[in-house]
Chain A
Amino acid sequence: EPEVTQTPSHQVTQMGQEVILRCVPISNHLYFYWYRQILGQKVEFLVSFYNNEISEKSEIFDDQFSVERPDGSNFTLKIRSTKLEDSAMYFCASSVLQGNQPQHFGDGTRLSIL
């Protein structure tokens, strides 16, 4: 069964550094998402992406965050200048359509900011 793949599985970065989290969505999917889960808290929506532009973003997704689909397969989340509170598990998801279609998730990248 096709999967969403995320790399790396664990990223350790110094505060203030830039970090790029990578995702390869399922190949025929058109909608892409990033979520995050701070330890012990809810999974929170960050951003959705369709047709090479952001469809919606949450309050969390400030100017320090950006997303890109640099080629036909990758979908990346960049954090420009990381803060301690960015430490979390970041999940990428994709879906064929929007609406009530299921979103398929990757295994996540654990980001640790020192």
Chain B
Amino acid sequence: GNSVTQMEGPVTLSEEAFLTINCTYTATGYPSLFWYVQYPGEGLQLLLKATKADDKGSNKGFEATYRKETTSFHLEKGSVQVSDSAVYFCALIRGSNYKLTFGKGTLLTVNP
């Protein structure tokens, strides 16, 4: 079946540091890939998505590129801010059903 593996957290960075959160997936064919973010006390918000190989999703300075050859969708940001502190979830949709399959989530803490 489909699955998503993302790097274990927590990740702690200083403000303006470079962020990478690794995400790899297992799925047949060409899933659509998503990053969701959960700020403290809030629900899941879509951060970015990519629907086909080599697509780059981007939003709020975050980027992720759909790499079919490595089955990866790593999240990056060049300069994190304290306000980026949240839990980040990688997820996919594949097949005739449209349920999201999530990774375990990575807690990011950015210190001033």
Contacts and interface: CB of A to CB of B under 8 A. Distances in A.
A4 B46 CA distance: 13
Given A91-B44, A99-B93, A45 B100 contact: yes
Interface residues of B, number: 23
A103 B100 CA distance: 9
Nearest to A104: B46
Interface residues of A, number: 27
B52 to A, nearest CB: 9
Given A43-B89, A100-B51, A48 B99 contact: yes
A107 to B, nearest CB: 4
A105 B45 contact: yes
Interface in A16-64: 31, 33, 35, 41-45, 48, 55-56, 58
B43 A99 contact: no
Interface in B35-66: 36, 41-46, 49, 51
Interface of B: 32, 34, 36, 41-46, 49, 51, 89, 91, 93, 97-105
